[in-house]
Amino acid sequence: MEAATTSSGDSGWFSPRRPTGPWPADSGRTEGDAERIATPSRMPGELPWPMDPAQAADTPATAGSSESGLPGAATGFTGPGLLGAEDDLPAPGTQVRQEASPDAILVRRTLGEIAPVADKVTSYFYALLFIRHPDLRSLFPAAMDAQRDRLLKALLTAAEHMDDPAVLTDYLQHLGRGHRKYGTQAAHYPAVGEALIGALSRYATVTWDNETEAAWVRTYTTISQIMIDAAAENERHGPAWWHAEVVAHELRTPDVAVITLRPDQPYPFLAGQYTSIETPWWPRVWRHYSFAAAPRPDGLLSFHVKAVPAGWVSNALVHRARPGDVLRLGPPAGSMTVDHTTDSGLLCVGGGTGIAPIKALVEDVARHGERRPVEVFYGARTDHDLYDIDTMLRLQQSHPWLEVRAVIDGSTQLPDMVREYGPWNEYDAYLSGPPGLIRSGVNALRGVGVPSERIRHDSLEELVAAAG
């Protein structure tokens, strides 16, 4: 794949069709066609996606980045020290900082105006994209209800944070690499940009003018070029996806399975990371799951999956997958990994299937032969939900530097327990589990003086966006 080059003009390599409206003159389509297709009152069978976003509410098995890429992008940032809590990322439409660049000011004004009609903007965006470029529809899942808004949210989130280039670049590079497993090419980006400008100009009727459009074109050109370059670079180092055979499938509870996979070629990753999984039963629908073990000599990969109501991928993995089935894996991602250049202790908090990456981190410390203290708090709603407690206790018996504490909600809340056993000034903290657990855990740790840069977890916004 060759990265597109940027021209010298303000519009860069992306140039939207101007004032004649969002349709080319010879397309045979009109603005009314997009409006009609984007109208929610039509029958679901007539739309390119079902209208009920709750139908595919797979919750990620652990803290993990939301699906990235053209068909379904994330809406937040990942990595240690980038987020301490959900409100660390300003929402679109928040008050503009005095030091904001002129383009950022214009972009945020647009975001503030469209916020109340976000659903309409989303529907119109996809209507423009699919009518104008019907060939792109094949890159998306057949039913888009769960992730129809992720691409647009990713673009808007990136635009909102254009004045934070360090964070933004990491975020966009991650998205660009994630594009590859969908078959996304550099040539697809202008089509997305045209649909973005068309949707924004349709609904930002107060703030939109030629100056604002130029700011958005420059912003999107920067965003897309970073993603294209990241994808091109990543292509030189690994495949877009791996095939992986299910070699073991163990039900730990009626709705939790431990699944072991054998990839068709070496799969490099680090303990604490996650990947995306696609099943043969739901093509182009990817969900994120954390690795439940450190890298193994035999190359096998382990995951903990909980089936959730109406969860397409999670239910397929728990109740339908069997040894011999072949899945697809995206590239590894996430930076909730151990820094082996220090001797700081590890404070690990895992809730539910969030214990999976915590177990991997413990194994990673053990395999490096280190004797740094590791404190694990394993939270669950009931005793029955402590499905992996025996494994964790066996690890504790083998390693004197490891302490494992089970915490059952209802008797002692997990954050209170963590505070009680402090102080944690000399520890790096790792949080994994549902968004509520991460929020309360971050608040508890900040409350006892643990600095944000030592609290590691995956983005809360991405966790929420990945539900499906």
What are the domain boundaries of the chain?
31-235, 242-329, 345-465
276-303 pLDDT per residue, tens: 999 999 888 889 999 999 999 999 999 9
For residue 380, which of 356, 347, 358, 354 has the smallest C-alpha distance? 354
Q: Which of the four CATH numbers 2.40.50.140, 2.160.10.10, 1.20.1050.10, 2.40.30.10 does domain 242-329 have?
A: 2.40.30.10
**Position 155: which residue type?**
L
Mean pLDDT lowest for which of 18-32, 38-52, 342-356?
38-52
Mean pLDDT lowest for which of 159-168, 227-236, 320-329, 348-357?
159-168
Coil, strand or helix at 429: strand
Please give the pLDDT value at position 78.
Answer: 28
* Partner residues linked to 75 by β-bridges: none
- Are 78 and 174 spatial neighbours (Cβ–Cβ below 8 Å)? yes
Q: Is the pLDDT of residue 314 over 50?
A: yes
Say which residues have a Cβ less than 8 Å from residue 135's Cβ, sequence separation at least 6.
none
What is the topology classification, in CATH, of domain 31-235? Globin-like (1.10.490)
- Are 430 and 346 spatial neighbours (Cβ–Cβ below 8 Å)? yes
Token pair for 379: 């939270």
Cβ burial, residue 17 (10 Å; 0-12/13-18/19+): middle
**Confidence class of residue 240 from pLDDT cuts 50, 70 and 90?**
confident
193-207 pLDDT per residue, tens: 999 999 999 999 999
**Position 443: which residue type?**
N
pTM of the model: 0.67
The bridge status of strand 345-351 relative to strand 326-329 is unpaired
**How far is Cα 287 from Cα 61, in angstroms, rounded to an integer?**
9
CA atoms within 13 A on the CB side of 295: 10
H or E element, residue 131: helix 118-132
**How far is Cα 46 from Cα 40, in angstroms, rounded to an integer?**
10
Over residues 397-422, the mean pLDDT reads: 84
**How far is Cα 84 from Cα 453, in angstroms, rounded to an integer?**
8
| Entry field: residues in the chain | 468
- Are 413 and 330 spatial neighbours (Cβ–Cβ below 8 Å)? no
Residue 289 or residue 10, greater confidence: 289
**How far is Cα 356 from Cα 343, in angstroms, rounded to an integer?**
23
- Are 258 and 353 spatial neighbours (Cβ–Cβ below 8 Å)? no
Residue 318 or residue 187, greater confidence: 318
Please give the pLDDT value at position 142.
Answer: 67
**How far is Cα 354 from Cα 366, in angstroms, rounded to an integer?**
20
Task: Find the distance separating the first CA and the last CA of the chain, reported in whole Å.
Answer: 30
The bridge status of strand 286-290 relative to strand 274-278 is antiparallel
Residue 277 or residue 417, greater confidence: 277
- Are 28 and 20 spatial neighbours (Cβ–Cβ below 8 Å)? no
Please give the pLDDT value at position 427.
Answer: 92
Please give the pLDDT value at position 289.
Answer: 94
**Confidence class of residue 144 from pLDDT cuts 50, 70 and 90?**
low
**Position 322: which residue type?**
R
H or E element, residue 22: none
CATH number of 345-465: 3.40.50.80
Over residues 158-176, the mean pLDDT reads: 81
